């Protein structure tokens, strides 16, 4: 190549880097007119055409470059990308597999599973700089793999299970493992069936290898990935139960082995006021943390404290932590300042602090991630699980079980186990200071009719039957609008609305202040099969009617866990039962507790609320009355919680 040609290629590459694709293409064609097989010029021409969506030209140029230099990896990845952009996913997967075989292995083995094995091994050994450069390609391969769902290749699967990833230090393992799961197409956006295949075929065998090597740190990282990417993908009690059954016993045993290797601890004697520890992973504004906070603020309002509460956590929002501190809670961060989070070190530190403070009871708040391992360590003399969502986790190390319920319940039976009941209570379900802003938001929507809303995590709102109900409501009410939330806008939710032709009347509003948006909407549509919690109570506090779905998943959680026992009881059996009947069923012809047992009934009552403003107001007034009269006694909830945790009558 002459200096003039080199300069021309450099110029074309610079134009390409600047996004000046037409000019880059013309510059590359000038070189190709003199040297048709110039691979560098062919690459510029192919990339420029691909960027301009002239995909046939890009394909021809890339294939010509590959014929000229079959070992050029950039060309191999380019032709795979062209196929991907053209929507030829099977071809794109095949080409990426061939590129991985060329770069990481032998060119005569290029099946997708063997390619996945080669890529995962590369993730384990390549430098961070190389991995960062290949990250997009590796993740694209994983997406193709998950969507194509090829049958496993046994030899490649065995090789994947034997990956050198597990030989890394935990500091190196975390980021590389996360990328490896992306290479395998594992995550919330993949089909559950594919995720299950990856969990059972690869991730669980990796976890068992970690147990066998006493690499508890790595086992916990793997559990976290499975929890976030697969357990949370399907909102059902049965799925939760079946998932944890896969590893809970291994985790319990691993926790016991880990604790046996720690220095012995000697609990100190306390005075008359018992110490009670509470553990949350992160101190946030999520419902399970807020439930604990409201209850402990209620405890702070008692004339005499029942316990000295301690809050253990890995991380948290400063303002939320300060609210706990202001409620007289001893703050015990488990990640030391300036240190990277280390779950094993955190659990060891919590074990030591519990002994040093003479804490007799540790209460694990809701999220069961790492619970089997931690309780296997026997962190405290008495270990309690306060479950605010799922209940189907049974461990010998769980000494007490607490859940939410109505103000007149003391215990309830769930899955054959007795659970102590703590009423749900908060001081300010409604925020009047947000009313002016809510009016501005409402006006900005330009809604011609009723505004419906469902506020919760995106995976909770993604059930196809629930989305079909939303579509049916919007079709019956052409002027209606639907608002939905989430940390991310799940493509499958948006796609369902687009396919149904109602997307223009839906709004994804992100991760918002739900007390604000409770005042923006007219009707709250509870998610199903798994219900909402705090966000629904906030809508009730704002005087909005709520439409509920009756099913096994909502039997012992959500608003039904609070209301149904009261309405099932004789109205004169207790003061709370009498109040609930007065609110929702004031006479034999009226029922303002809008819970339906099938999707058709759910849609019907939601549409009726949209069409009948009088009915809508009556149901909304009932919602407000219930939370104001039966969900505001935080001090009472604190007394009941102390009674359950301390095993003595503290309710007076």
Under a CB-based contact definition with an 8 Å cutoff, are residues 253 and 547 in contact?
A: no
pLDDT of residue 445: 96
> What are the structure tokens assigned to 129, written together?
């700089």
User: Domain locations in the chain?
Assistant: 1-87, 112-264, 266-423, 432-631
Rounded to the nearest integer, the mean pLDDT of the chain is 93
- Which 8-state DSSP code applies to residue 567? H
pLDDT in the model for residue 652: 46
Q: Is the dihedral of CA 236, 239, 242, 243 positive or negative?
A: negative
Tens-digit pLDDT profile for residues 211-252: 999 999 999 999 999 999 999 998 889 999 999 999 999 999
Dihedral, 526, 527, 529, 533 alpha carbons, nearest 10: -70
Structure tokens at 597: 């047992």
The pair of three-digit structure tokens given for residue 83, joined into one six-digit string? 């196929």
Task: Answer for the pair 513, 484: CB distance below 8 angstroms, yes or no.
Answer: no
Task: Enter the pTM of the model.
Answer: 0.88
Q: pLDDT digits over 265-296, tens only? A: 998 888 889 999 999 999 998 889 999 999 99
Q: Of 3.10.20.600, 1.50.10.10, 3.20.20.70, 3.40.50.2000, which CATH number belongs to 432-631?
A: 3.40.50.2000
Its CATH class, for the domain covering 266-423, is: alpha beta
Q: For residues 67 and 650, give the distance between their C-alpha atoms in angstroms, rounded to a whole number.
A: 82
Ranges of the chain whose pLDDT falls below 70: 1-2, 4-5, 106-110, 648-652
Show Cβ contacts of residue 400 under 8 Å, excluding neighbours closer than 6 positions: 361, 382, 383, 384, 385, 420, 644, 645
* DSSP codes joined into one string, 49-105: HHHTT-HHHHHHHHHHHHHH-TT-HHHHHHHHHHHHHTT-HHHHHHHHHHHHHHHHS
**pLDDT tens, residue by residue, 341-352:** 789 999 999 999
Fold of 1-87: 1.25.40
Quote the CA–CA distance of 395 and 375 in Å, as a whole number: 9
What percent of the chain has a predicted confidence (pLDDT) above 90? 77
What local confidence, expressed as pLDDT, does residue 192 receive?
93
Give the alpha-carbon dihedral of 18, 20, 24, 26, to 10 degrees: -160
Q: What is the pLDDT of residues 9-58, one digit of tens each?
A: 888 888 888 999 999 889 889 888 888 988 888 888 889 998 999 999 99
Query: How far is it, in rounded angstroms, from Cα 250 to Cα 203?
Result: 14
Q: What is the pLDDT of residue 284?
A: 93
Within this chain, domains 266-423 and 432-631 share the same CATH topology: yes
- Write down the pLDDT at residue 65: 87
| Residue 340 DSSP one-character state | -
Q: What is the pLDDT of residue 106?
A: 64
How crowded is residue 604: how many other Cβ atoms within 10 Å of its Cβ? 16
Enumerate residues 6+ apart whose C-beta is below 8 A from 442: 451, 520
């Amino acid at each position: 190549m002459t200096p003039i040609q080199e300069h021309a290629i450099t110029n074309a590459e610079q134009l390409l880097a600047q996004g000046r694709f037409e000019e880059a293409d013309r510059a590359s064609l000038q070189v190709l007119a003199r040297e048709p097989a110039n691979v560098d010029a062919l690459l510029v021409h192919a990339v420029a055409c691909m960027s301009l969506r002239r995909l046939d030209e890009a394909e021809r140029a890339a294939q010509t470059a590959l014929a000229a230099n079959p070992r050029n990896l950039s060309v191999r990845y380019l032709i795979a990308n062209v196929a991907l952009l053209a929507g030829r996913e099977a071809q794109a997967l095949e080409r990426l597999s061939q590129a991985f075989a060329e770069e990481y292995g032998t060119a005569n083995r290029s099946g997708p599973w063997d390619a996945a094995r080669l890529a995962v091994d590369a993730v384990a050994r390549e430098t961070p700089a190389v991995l960062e450069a290949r990250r997009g390609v590796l993740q694209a391969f994983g997406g193709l793999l998950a969507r194509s769902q090829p049958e496993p290749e046994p030899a490649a699967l065995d090789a994947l299970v034997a990956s050198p990833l597990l030989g890394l230090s935990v500091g190196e393992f975390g980021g590389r493992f996360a990328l490896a799961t992306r290479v395998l197409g594992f995550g919330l956006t993949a089909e559950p069936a594919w995720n299950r295949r990856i969990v059972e075929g690869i991730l669980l065998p990796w976890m068992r290898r970690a147990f066998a090597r006493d690499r508890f740190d790595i086992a916990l990282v793997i559990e976290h990935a499975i929890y976030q990417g697969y357990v949370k993908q399907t909102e059902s009690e049965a799925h939760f139960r079946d998932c944890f059954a896969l590893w809970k016993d291994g985790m319990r045993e691993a926790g016991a082995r880990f604790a046996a290797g720690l220095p012995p601890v000697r609990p100190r004697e306390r005075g008359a006021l018992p110490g009670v520890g509470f553990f949350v992973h992160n101190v946030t504004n999520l419902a399970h943390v807020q439930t604990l906070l409201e209850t402990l603020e209620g405890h702070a309002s008692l004339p005499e404290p029942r316990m000295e509460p301690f809050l253990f956590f890995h991380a948290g929002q400063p303002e939320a932590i300060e609210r706990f501190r202001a409620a007289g809670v001893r703050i015990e961060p488990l990640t030391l300042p300036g240190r990277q989070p280390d779950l094993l070190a955190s659990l060891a530190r919590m074990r030591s602090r519990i002994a040093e403070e003479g804490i007799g009871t540790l209460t694990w708040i809701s999220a069961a991630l790492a619970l089997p391992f931690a309780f296997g360590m026997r962190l405290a003399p008495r270990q309690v699980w306060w479950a605010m969502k799922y209940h189907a986790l049974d461990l010998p190390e769980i000494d007490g079980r607490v859940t939410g319920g109505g103000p007149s319940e003391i215990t309830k039976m769930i899955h054959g186990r007795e659970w102590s009941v703590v009423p749900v209570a908060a001081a300010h379900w409604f925020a009047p200071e947000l009313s002016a802003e809510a009016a501005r938001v409402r006006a900005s929507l330009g809604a011609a009719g009723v505004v419906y809303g469902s506020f919760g995590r995106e995976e909770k709102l993604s059930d196809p039957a629930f989305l079909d109900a939303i579509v049916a409501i919007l079709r019956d009410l052409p002027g209606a609008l639907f608002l939905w939330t989430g940390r991310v806008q799940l493509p499958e939710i948006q796609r369902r609305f687009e396919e149904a032709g109602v997307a223009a009347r839906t709004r994804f509003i992100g991760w918002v202040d739900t007390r604000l948006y409770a005042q923006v909407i007219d009707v709250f549509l509870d998610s199903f099969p798994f219900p909402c919690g705090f966000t629904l109570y906030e809508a009730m506090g704002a005087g909005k009617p709520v439409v509920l779905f009756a099913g096994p998943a909502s039997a012992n959680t959500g608003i039904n866990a609070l209301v149904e026992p009261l309405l099932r009881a004789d109205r004169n059996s207790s003061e709370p039962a009498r109040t609930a009947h007065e609110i929702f069923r004031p006479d034999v012809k009226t029922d303002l507790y809008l819970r339906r047992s099938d999707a058709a009934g759910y849609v019907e009552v939601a549409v009726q609320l949209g069409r009948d403003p009088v009915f809508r107001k009556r149901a909304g007034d009932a919602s407000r009355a219930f939370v104001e009269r039966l969900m505001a006694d935080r001090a009472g909830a604190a007394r009941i919680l102390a009674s359950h945790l301390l095993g003595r009558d503290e309710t007076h």
